[in-house]
Amino acid sequence: MALGDFVLTIAFKTTWTAFLVAGASLAPAQTAPPNQIEAWITNADRSALFQPSPDRIAFRNSAARGPAIVIDPGLQMQSIDGFGFALTGGSAELLMKMSREARANTLRQIFAVDRDHLGVSYLRVTIGASDMNRFVYSYDDLAPGETDFDLKKFDLGHDREDVLPVLKEILAIAPGIRILGSPWSAPPWMKNNNDVRGGALKEECYPAYALYLVKYVQEMKKEGVEIDAITIQNEPLNSKNTPSMQWQLNQQLVFLRDHLYPAFHKAGLRTKVVLFDHNLDRPDYPLALLSDPVISQFADGSGFHHYGGDMSAMSKVHQARPDKNIYFTEQMITERPGSAAIGIAASVKRMIIDTTRNWSRNVVLWNLAADPNNDPHTGNGGCSMCQGAITIDRNTVSLNLAYYTIAHASKFVRPGSVRIGSTNRGDQTIGLTDDEERSGLKRMAVIENTQVLPNVAFKTPEGKIVLIVANDTYAVSSFAVQYGGQSAAIRLNAGSVGTFVW
């Protein structure tokens, strides 16, 4: 028997305009008629790489065949802050080595918010060096045996050579972009091993390190760079990178409660503080911090990586503390250079669909740029496998899997968009079927385990609907999209991803 679609009583009235991303064929500049969907597709065989489909998909009053993704804009979840990449020191260094024209074209391609470009809306920067720097530095490096508890020698230093110039060019293109700052280590003189790798912050240096983070936010603002949020340590339970610093829960609690909170309050900073900034296998860590009443008042939310654990951990943290925000602050996505296929479906499912369905307000991939050898990075703990979203070879830029993954969200799901209801795989849904004996009589059918493709839907500030669907199967998939009592029939090739806008 053929099942129809559950009918929602939501009025449908909207239009959309064709857009272009770098690498796509130029789409005609026209406004789609009402009741039509614009589709942007990436095929696994690279026959389309985030390209607009030449044909619009029509909504019709009759039911479309196939499993139905029902869109419910009345069911609203978290707001979206943005999608983007980490601008590491190494990324900035490569960009600064390009010609001025090549760099300007590259940055405009990624950050400009217009019909021809990607509109990346979120950046993570490193407070001091990360393992994707050519060398390690902090903003208060001293000779062995020296100390500077009043931070009289604090200076943004090496950031002035590459990170700050690139940030200023990005801000000239996208002045509203949100920026998250994360440190990989305190200055070595503050640590119990006096080294950039591993070790822990000395307790007597807690006030100095709180001041260090305050000064970072203040000095960046003087340079015209507004830091929207910080974490206090990248991967506090990983001391194997160069640089890195281990921070146990009880130590962070004291630092946050007794030192950073008073320092931010005294300085009048409104920069958000995001807890944890590590893997999903330890949701207890941020929840334990939030159990402290001072930190609970002070902290904006929790940040996660997915090198361990399950995405559902973010939903568990949200369930425990729905008053606090969830952020996805890092994940490396790589592919083999020159590969005939692109693993876009698995990547978009994991990095865009699963993250936002589990309440994240953002997605940040690691990292923006590397060279063909995945350089620069530090030795003895630097990431030799960390491919950039783009590969920079002098003035030549190639686009990688991470670029196209973010593209499927960043271009259309603009900051301020809200995640809305859409049928998830395994949901119970309602269909209609013909009565077997009385033609024309409809009966309700309950589908206990709906087998729709992985998807997530958003409503933009302009009132448009954006649906992102990943065909993670090995076959062409036909499905229906139901919105406002109308239905549209869509096909996606095996391993392909579509962003659908109306």
Q: Which residue has the tokens 């990005």?
A: 170
Tell me: do 59 and 182 sit in the same domain: no
CA distance 406 to 68: 25
* DSSP string over 408-470: HHHTTS-TT-EEEEE--TT--EEEEEE-SSSTT-EEEEEESS--PPPEEEEE-TTS-EEEEEE
| DSSP symbols for 212-268 | HHHHHHHHHHHTT----EE-S-SSTT---SSS-----HHHHHHHIIIIIHHHHHHHT
Quick check: 22 pLDDT over 50? no
Higher pLDDT, 64 or 155: 155
Residues 181 and 73 in one domain: no
Can you tell me whether residue 190 is helix, strand or coil?
Answer: helix
- Look at the pTM and tell me if it is higher than 0.75: yes
**Can you spell out the DSSP letters for 323-338?**
TSEEEEEE-B----TT
Q: Are residues 145 and 238 in the same domain?
A: yes
Bond preceding residue 236 cis, omega within 30 of 0: no
Q: Would you say residue 194 lies in a domain?
A: yes
> pLDDT tens for residues 164-197?
999 999 999 999 999 999 999 999 999 999 999 9
Q: What is the pLDDT of residue 57?
A: 96
Q: Are residues 291 and 396 in the same domain?
A: yes
Contacts of 212 (CB under 8 A, 6+ apart): 139, 140, 151, 154, 186, 187, 190
Nearest to 374 by CA among 394, 388, 393: 388
> Per the domain annotation, does 1 fall within a domain?
no
At residue 340, the pLDDT reads: 96
Whether residues 432 and 350 fall in one domain = no
Q: At which of 386, 415, 444 does a domain end?
A: 415
Please, what is the average pLDDT of the chain? 92
Whether 231 is covered by a domain: the verdict is yes
- Bridge-based pairing of strands 477-483 and 465-470 is unpaired
Residue 11 lies in a domain: no
Amino acid of residue 494: A
Whether residues 150 and 280 share a domain: the answer is yes
Specify the number of domains making up the chain: 2
pLDDT tens, residue by residue, 95-130: 999 999 999 999 999 999 988 899 999 999 999 999
Report residue 34's pLDDT band, with 50, 70 and 90 as the boundaries. Answer: low
Q: For 329-379, how does the pLDDT look when each residue is reduced to its tens digit (9 = 90+)?
A: 999 999 999 999 999 999 999 999 999 999 999 999 999 999 999 999 999
495 falls within a domain: yes
| CB burial readout 85-98, b (16+ within 10 A) else e | bbbbbbbbbbbeeb
Write out the residue range of the structural domain in which residue 185 sits: 81-415
pLDDT band at 432 (very low <50, low <70, confident <90, very high): confident
Q: In this structure, are 200 and 134 located in the same domain?
A: yes
Give yes or no for a cis peptide into 395 (omega within 30° of 0): no
In a domain, 5, yes or no: no
**Burial (0-12, 13-18, 19+ Cβ within 10 Å), 485:** middle
pLDDT for res 430 = 82
In this structure, are 231 and 305 located in the same domain? yes
Contact 86, 365 (CB under 8 A): yes
Distance CA(423)–CA(426), nearest Å, equals 9
* Contact call for residues 22 and 497 (beta carbons, < 8 A): no
Query: How far apart, in whole angstroms, are the C-alpha atoms of residue 424 and residue 419?
Result: 13
Residue 448: pLDDT band (50, 70, 90) is: confident
Bridge partners (DSSP) listed for residue 374? none
Q: At a CB cut-off of 8 Å and minimum separation 6, what does 295 contact?
A: 253, 256, 257, 261, 275, 289
Q: Which amino acid is at 272?
A: K
Q: 469 in a domain, yes or no?
A: yes
Are residues 361 and 481 both part of a single domain? no
Share of the chain above pLDDT 70, in %: 93
Statement to judge: residues 186 and 115 lie in one domain: yes
Length of the chain: 502
**pLDDT surpasses 50 at 397:** yes
**End residue of a domain, out of 415, 441, 456:** 415
> Is it the case that residue 23 has pLDDT exceeding 80?
no
Q: Examine the domain organization and report whether 299 and 407 are in the same domain.
A: yes
Q: How confident is the model at residue 473 (pLDDT cuts 50, 70, 90)?
A: very high
Distance CA 123, CA 21 (A): 19
- pLDDT for 431: 78
In a domain, residue 241? The reply is yes
pLDDT score, position 439: 85
Token pair recorded at residue 173: 């293109």
- The pLDDT tens digits for 232-281 are 999 999 999 999 999 999 999 999 999 999 999 999 999 999 999 999 99
Q: Do 360 and 424 fall into the same domain?
A: no
CATH of the domain at 396: 3.20.20.80
In Å, how far from its chain's centre is CA 124? 10
CATH number of the domain bearing residue 73: 2.60.40.1180
Q: Could you give the CA distance from residue 364 to residue 406 in angstroms, rounded to a whole number?
A: 9
Examine the pLDDT at 66 and tell me if it is beyond 60.
Answer: yes
Instruction: Please say which residue of 382, 415, 448 terminates a domain.
Output: 415
